[in-house]
Amino acid sequence: MAEALLEIRELHIGFEVYGGTLKVLNGVDLMVREGEKVGLVGETGCGKTTTAKSTLRILPMPPARISRGEILFRGADILKMGPKEIRRVQGQGISMIFQDPTAALNPVFTIGEQLMDAIRYSNSQEALGRREIRARAIQALKDVALPDPERILECYPIQLSGGMRQRVCIAMAIATEAELLIADEPTTSLDVTIQAQVLRLLGNLVQEKEASTILITHSLGIVREWTDRVYVMYAGGMVEAAKTREIFARPLHPYTQLLMRAVPKLTGEGIAEGIPGRIPDYLNPPPGCRFHPRCPYAMPICAQERPPFFPRGEDHQVACFLYKG
């Protein structure tokens, strides 16, 4: 079994707001092995993006506050790193692709300026020459199949379509040869017709560069097609982790089961079922398992203790007292 590249343990993150602390991450555990494609699924607002941003230390602090936990990248804790080390991780360790490429590109600078700065500062050891940086930028744009890269370098984001902008963002992420790529819902803001294209492109690039990936999404279809292993997240914590094939064949956690049933099927009749209840209030989250108020199988213990991961079979873990012992 391959070595762990990224390992998040018991991560607790809160956001200080007027009136208290939003307890957004409540003991997140996540592991990515080298060369692995990991999916991270969950509802909007369950903490997927917060988890991703915390690995790059780009959460705005304050208001965000990390109260507990560690994020190990190749064994070194990102949360304890000095400025030099963290920049090495940001430069060549982890790259992130944001959900909305329009918001992720600075509107008043050219693509070239932004892409070349990303390349220039990614390598903290040796200073690259201008020509070398430019050549790499052009290569990165070619890698994401953008036509006429030289012209695109001179373009401003406004001159490109949404799909092209996301390709530029992908180019930025791969240009630095990062070992781990975090794609945060990379296709959500794109046209449906473009989504498949961009995903295919991303898949090929990951294959080619042999990078590990975390794909954040709320589409189970994409997860199924794309990933080796899946984490299901609910209200700031992981509820289940398993190989992709396994989790679709045998979902264990009640939330996972309900989530799968909520997907509309082409062959099915009518609208799929939703999950009754609402996502919890992060200011005063329910004690114990955060899913228990909505859970059809809730037991007394669920309201008292937070369930840890219980192993069920090879590489399958579930955070639910139904599977204790």
Which is closer to other proteins, CB of 108 or CB of 271?
Answer: 108
Instruction: Give the containing element (helix H, strand E) for 237.
Output: strand 237-243
β-partners of residue 37 are 213
Q: Which is nearer to other proteins, 88 or 224 (CB)?
A: 88
Which of 264, 258, 323, 269 minimizes the C-alpha distance to 295? 258
236: left (phi over 0), alpha (psi -120 to 50) or beta: left
- Smallest separation, CB 309 to other proteins (Å): 28
Contact predicate 102/45, CB 8 Å: no
Least Å distance between CB 23 and other proteins? 21
Nearest residue (CB) to other proteins, 175 versus 252: 175
- Which residues partner with 38 through β-bridges? 214, 229
Which CB atom, from 168 or from 258, has the smaller least distance to other proteins? 168
Nearest distance in Å: CB 158, other proteins = 5
Give the number of residues written for the chain.
Answer: 325
What residue ranges bind other proteins (CB under 8 A)? 53, 56, 58, 60, 87-88, 90-91, 94-96, 98, 100, 103-110, 114, 117-118, 121-122, 124, 156, 158-159, 169, 172, 176
The nearest distance, CB 53 to other proteins, in angstroms, is 7
Cβ contacts of 80 within 8 Å, gap of 6 or more: 70
> To the nearest whole angstrom, how small is the minimum distance from the Cβ of residue 91 to other proteins?
4
- Which is nearer to other proteins, 159 or 304 (by Cβ)? 159
| Nearest distance from C-beta of residue 63 to other proteins, angstroms | 11
Give the residue with the Cβ less far from other proteins, 87 or 306.
87
State which residue, 106 or 204, has the beta carbon closest to other proteins: 106
Beta bridge partners of 318: 240, 310
Listing DSSP states for 37-59 in one string gives: EEEEE--TTSSHHHHHHHHTT-S
The bridge status of strand 212-217 relative to strand 310-311 is unpaired
CB of 293 to other proteins, least distance (A): 32
CA distances from 37 to 86, 99, 164, 165, 230 (A): 23, 18, 24, 23, 9
